[in-house]
Chain A
Amino acid sequence: DAGVTQSPTHLIKTRGQQVTLRCSPISGHKSVSWYQQVLGQGPQFIFQYYEKEERGRGNFPDRFSARQFPNYSSELNVNALLLGDSALYLCASSAQPGLANEQYFGPGTRLTVT
């Protein structure tokens, strides 16, 4: 079975631009979460979605938005990119939204903002 997949693998953008990152969860998983990992730090929670509804939001500005599709895949959008948005963006899926369920992470998308 395929694990969590993310695209693209790497991305270079200029300040002020917009970016869309994509995630496909493990087959059968209905919950998707997004995390940002800056170099040298642990991942920080951005969003959790379940059944197309937002279930949780971290302390990130409104420039960050996300959505989940009927097939449970998800997109993370970031507008008006800043240099500080450069990070590894990780997607995680689980069978259900509650954290009694194990989270499985994808390989991440490396975003560089110049």
Chain B
Amino acid sequence: KQEVTQIPAALSVPEGENLVLNCSFTDSAIYNLQWFRQDPGKGLTSLLLIQSSQREQTSGRLNASLDKSSGRSTLYIAASQPGDSATYLCAVSNQAGTALIFGKGTTLSVSS
């Protein structure tokens, strides 16, 4: 059974800092890995999708890496801003390829 763990559960940083969010998964047989952002009480916004054959993806100040063999992914946020404050969720496919399995998320707070 695929399980996804995100560390840390919460993180507070001052504006301008670079930071790394971690995601680990137990079954390396994944189709892809997706990082999402969720603002309080809102839906999910897709940030980055890494296919199983890829090692990383970049979008603006965000960079996500994937190491299938070790069951790990990291989301790097450069030059953090208060607007980055949100919960960040990592998700991988289940074995049947029909659903995403989510971690509990990392809640990020960036202070100005």
Q: Does B108 contact A (CB under 8 A)?
A: no
Cβ A88 vs Cβ B41 within 8 A: yes
Q: Which residues of chain A from 88 to 114 have any CB-CB distance to chain B below 8 Å in the complex? A: 88, 90, 92, 97-100, 102-108, 110
Inter-chain CB contacts under 8 Å: number: 69
| Chain B residue with Cβ nearest A42 | B102
Q: Does A61 contact B (CB under 8 A)?
A: no
Cβ A58 vs Cβ B99 within 8 A: yes
Cβ A100 vs Cβ B32 within 8 A: yes
Provide the B62-77 mask, 1 if CB < 8 A to any CB of A, else 0. Answer: 0000000000000000
Provide the B88-99 mask, 1 if CB < 8 A to any CB of A, else 0. Answer: 010101101111
Cβ A105 vs Cβ B91 within 8 A: no
Cβ A55 vs Cβ B43 within 8 A: no
Asked if A56 meets B98 with Cβ closer than 8 Å, knowing A43-B44, A103-B46, A105-B46, the reply is yes
Size band of the B side of the interface? 20 to 34
Q: Looking at the complex, which one of B4, B31, B43, B44 makes contact with A100 (CB distance below 8 Å)?
A: B31
Q: Does B42 contact A (CB under 8 A)?
A: yes
| Chain A residue with Cβ nearest B107 | A40
Cβ A107 vs Cβ B96 within 8 A: no
Binding site for A on B (CB under 8 A): 4, 31-32, 34, 36, 41-46, 49, 51, 89, 91, 93-94, 96-105
